[in-house]
Amino acid sequence: MRIYVGNLKYSVNDDALRDMFSEFGNVASADVIKDKFSGQSKGFGFVDMPNQSEAEDAIQALNDSMQDGRKLTVNEARPRSERPQRRF
């Protein structure tokens, strides 16, 4: 299951995100999304957990929890909706 994690502190990196979820089970990947030009974190990321039950446990435990003074938003990731073409 792919999990969205929002409102991360900008200093959180991939390893810290993986550690946060690894106590609930196997983590296949953990990626903090970064600005492609500056490399600065955008404050959210995605975690992939292959076991559905473990992923649901992690979502339940971490959603609305406080991490580094910030209230996390954790839920099942939804696919990006089709966005209209930008006009210049």
Query: Could you give the percent of the chain with pLDDT greater than 90?
Result: 86
CATH number, domain with residue 9: 3.30.70.330
In whole angstroms, give the CA distance from residue 45 to residue 29.
11
Domain span at 23: 2-33+52-75
Residue 84 lies in a domain: no
What sign has the CA pseudo-torsion 33, 59, 65, 80? positive
The overall average pLDDT reported for the chain is: 94
In whole angstroms, give the CA distance from residue 17 to residue 19.
5
Look at the chain and report how many structural domains it folds into: 1
In whole angstroms, give the CA distance from residue 37 to residue 35.
6
- 36 pLDDT more than 70: yes
What confidence category does residue 25 fall into, taking pLDDT thresholds of 50, 70 and 90?
Answer: very high
Please state at what angle helix 52-62 crosses helix 14-22, rounded to 10 degrees.
Answer: 100
* Class of residue 5 by CB neighbours under 10 A (exposed 0-12, middle 13-18, buried 19+): buried
- Per-residue model confidence (pLDDT) at position 79: 84
- Per-residue model confidence (pLDDT) at position 47: 98
Both tokens assigned to 53? 């039950």
